[in-house]
Structure 1
Amino acid sequence: MTANMMLAPQTDFLLTVNKATLTVTADNKLFFENGSVFKDFSVSYTGFVLGDTPSTAFGGAIAYGGTAVTATTIGNYVITPSGLTSLNYNITYNNGKLTIESDVQLTDGTIYVKKGSAGKGTSWDDALGEVAEGLKLAYSLNTSTRPDVTKANKIYVAKGTYAPQYSPKDSSNFADEDTDNSFLLVDGVKIYGGFDGSIANESISNRQIQKNKTILDSYNPVTGQKVHHIVIVSNSTGDNEIDGFTIMNGAGGFGSWMGAGATMTIKGKPITQAFGSGIRVHSSNLNIKNCTITGNSSGNQAGAMYITDVSNVSVFNTLFYNNSADHYGASGTSMVISEANVKIYNSTFGDSQNSFQIVTDHVNANLEVYNSIFRYFADPTHNDINKSRGTITVKNSFLPNAETFYSSKGFVLANNIYNVDPGFIDVNANNFALKTSSVVVDKGDNSFYNTAIYHDKDIADDKRVQNNTIDMGCFESKLPQTITASDLTKNYGDSDFVNEAVTVNTGLALTYTKSSNTTVLAIVNGKIHTQNAGTTTITVAVAGNETYAPTEKTFVLTIAKANLTVKANDKTKLANNLAMSNADYDVSYTGFVNGDDRSKLTGSLVYSGNAIGKTEVGIYTDGIMPGGLSSNNYNFIYNAGTLKILPNACINK
């Protein structure tokens, strides 16, 4: 160091070392539903520096929160990490997702549901207990990314009543939200009702829909509430189908005149509470087959069904009745179509509210109706189809108004029947089956009905085409049977019998069903058993089958009195100047039937004839004549007896 060099003065400065940023992200987890909660959560770290590790960088302990920590059922749940501290890191937490799936392996993609069961859904013996559980399982399997999963394509449902149990709202994770619950169909999964659930090899083609009624009911017996929509199909463009159900008691919410109440987001689509309480369809494809849709109401329009947002719906063999749209001036008790294509085949519309049953309400609404029937009223000013906008085609169908009512509105019409009673059996009892004399029998067009697609049975499980040409509506009228019967006379006491003169042209079994006078006869083991003489009207019936309609006929049966012979017994006495008293005479009976005896007769025996009062010796041939008896069941034939009065000395000579 030279003499001219000097040391620089020392300067202090402040150095700030900022914390590094560290991201803690909960790892996504997959868990198979087993009734317990998932516990093996973990996290990943991004941002460690200078060789730090979790064991050196943190104070505190990782903790987990969110919906995932208590979840036990199928769904997607949030994993929220927390709990760490650090002197060197600013910690940012990112949520993860817990997916709970089913590990069920299906056979042929079929899920089985039978009311009250507690299985996994792989067979009738291992069935799930609720339709809601079946749909949840289908959702789990069909959204899984696991390569070994068998996807669901159909759900078989056995007889019983099922209510919606889960909310269909996006991100609801199958929560129970009471009146917002619904059966949300899974895209591409068909759902079939009408099964017995205990019959070997039961199939779609041999199930009995009416015998095994499978009901989707809005009413929740636990809460006492009704849901706004029983079935919802949203943003589902696959091959969707609901077949063989009764869909009933939906209660759509109330809205302002053209409003629709509260809105839910379901599969990305806004769906209001008010329209379509039975079935609500948005941006979806749906086939409805062999269903009964009844008792559904909306606080605005579209009581039973609302179809909108570029949907395609076909309805086959389906009955609508007792649906309503309750807002003042509202309409579309059965259906409102808004920007959708709807085709209806062989269906019957029996709603009774003074309002149109179907309304097209969009310029892009297209309705086609084939082989179908709308309820007839003597006041033909309502209850069929109203074209507000869109296009309507009706062919080979029954319409209650005059043809000009429809042609003036721009309907495309062909081969329809107008403005007469179609001939339902009893609309007041909601029996929309057809009389054999109905004007719509054999008036459909077979080309509109493909039995390979729609099945070969009507809604009553009977043969779809009975007489070469299909009928209009969802019920196929059966062929008539003719019973021939003539009046008959039999006798009291005859053995149990059948009237051989009663025949039926089909050869089916005849049954005696009732007697107008049960004191005269009874039906015992299928035969006529006489009980008393008299006259009665017998009803004889023949049950129907899938081809023939049941029928009955009456005939008059007269039970004539039986003949009863009453003979005075011969008597011998010694002359003693005293005549025989009335009490000394007696009789014998021939001809009692049915176990009868003297106790079944009324009156008192009296005697007449030339022997009565005699004391002189002599033979009084046929001199004792009985009489005085009466009976409702016997004609009396009286035979006389002989009195011999002998001298005391020649008795028995």
Structure 2
Amino acid sequence: MSNKALISRMVSFGLVFVFTLALLAPTGASADSITILFVKPGTSGDCSSWENACDLQTALTGAATATEIWAAQGVYKPGPAGSNQVTFQLKNGVSLYGGFDGTETTRSQRDWQAHLTVLSGDLEDNDPIDDNGIVTDPAAMAGLNACHVVNAAGLDSTAILDGFTVTGGSALLDNDPARNCGGNGGGMNISGSCSPTVIHTSFIGNYARNSGGGIYVSSGGNPILSDVIIKNNRTNTNGGGIAVDVGAELAWDHLLIEGNVSNNGGGLYIGGSYHTLRISNATFTNNLATSTCCWTYGAGVYANMGTGGHFVMDNVVFQGNQSGAYGGGMHINGGHPTLTNAFFSGNRSGYVGGAISMQQSAADLVNTTISGNYSDHGGGIWIQVNPNIETLSVKNSIIWGNESPASTSGTLFNWQIWMDSAKLDATYSDIQTQESVVEGTGNINLDPQFVSPVGAASAPTLDGDYHLQTTSPAIDAGDNTLVTTAIDLDGYPRRMDVSSVIETGNGTTPIVDMGAYEAAGLPSAIVNDDQTVLIGAQVTLDGSASYDPLNRTPLTYQWSQTGGPTVTLSDPTAMRPTFTAPRVTAGTPLTFTLVVTNSIDQQSTPVSVVVTVLLPLYIPLVVNH
């Protein structure tokens, strides 16, 4: 999967918090009991307007409940150099919004992607940064940085951080109490059963000596994370991107966790027992679990949850991650996770479990694809459990093309799955074996015919296209009764029929495919509704809703006129060509047909739109004499 495709998965979704705002008043702007404070970097006004903006720390200190703080683009620091204990302290009932250019009159006018609003812990201005003030290498940060750029303690969901980039935090462990940060949460520290709301925000270039370089969650907190990027953060122990300690109930949505580094859980670490965790629509790429002294666990995720943990992930991608020992994509210790619409490819581990390694645990895999991963043992999956206590359940899934040349034992001896005493319950799945088909209803052992797979030895890599070709034996070969979601990993309907394929699965048409991606065959041409226009009017034909179900883009367009007096289209290959309605007999229909072609030269079925031309309505002028 390309970086472009990964970014497309991160298009802003998430929660929307609605406040009714009136026109901005000139003094401490207030509307419907909500006060708005305006901040710009380096200002010292009374916060009442953009012209009288104040500094962010000033606004936060004076903010009361039911306050919005609007922050213009630029870099904000929690205090001057000299003490690393300074921080931006969130408050209940106070909402921080970034992404303004400093002229807006409504919150909907802001753009947090165009107008970067940076909260930086680089107090001494001596860290490596880019043009926007974002730390580029947290391992090279110099001097004394803020312990926690943002701090949240004992808060609820009314404490909101929305539209910022958090960078340059450095949570040290130090014998000097004046310098000691506790070692956790360089970017943001969330403690004391705390549940703030964090959306449209990035944590980039932060460090923690112990856990949670980007974000650290402790004491049973339940923060809301949606549309959040965790990138290029580091720790020495757990959770380079995010670390969660002690039991918590979490539901996170639309995350990009990329390029983070730690000994364990390069992207995400989950520790302690009795967690309830659900992560949806998340991408874990290029994370690293590395150490010069010790075993490493889970480059993308290390879930160390104990027997009481409940862990659910759906619509997730693990790609290009690398661990020195256990779990290139994910390592699970305890609990019994469920993964649906999951994709593991191009991950590597130096010892066991190229994609996933598990100890005292096994997983339920539903419509999951594991391919192109590499490890010494268990190129796809490696499981080690006490005898007869765990079962790996594989449903409607594909495990194929993983490599582990050093594997020499295990009850399922091949490169795809290594187990010592766990049980395998596989149904309607395509699992590559050295023997015949894996025991279980509906299983096959056939090349799934991915569009463009990459050899496992090239891992870690983001390369390859693991959608199914239209000739794949995995199409229409699953079991409809096992389907738990309405969409596939691309967001398309989970059950789509490919008419050229003979159905071999279980259920009524359409039958679900095996794997994370549903094959959908040809692109679809979609045109605007039929139109009625007057002679001389300019008419626009619209094919912009056309799509390829597997994103094989760009699409090319070919319009043709198939009925009525001939007209000249402005550009027959345009998405929206135009023409002038001709002078014809009233009620004359003109018919136009569109065919779209995807990037691999597959054409859609032609679709047509009818434009009916009418005469103008003339009302005679009656003059009374």
TM range (shorter): 0.3 to 0.5
TM-score, structure 1 length as denominator? 0.46
TM-score, structure 2 length as denominator? 0.48
Q: Of the two, which has the highest radius of gyration? A: 1
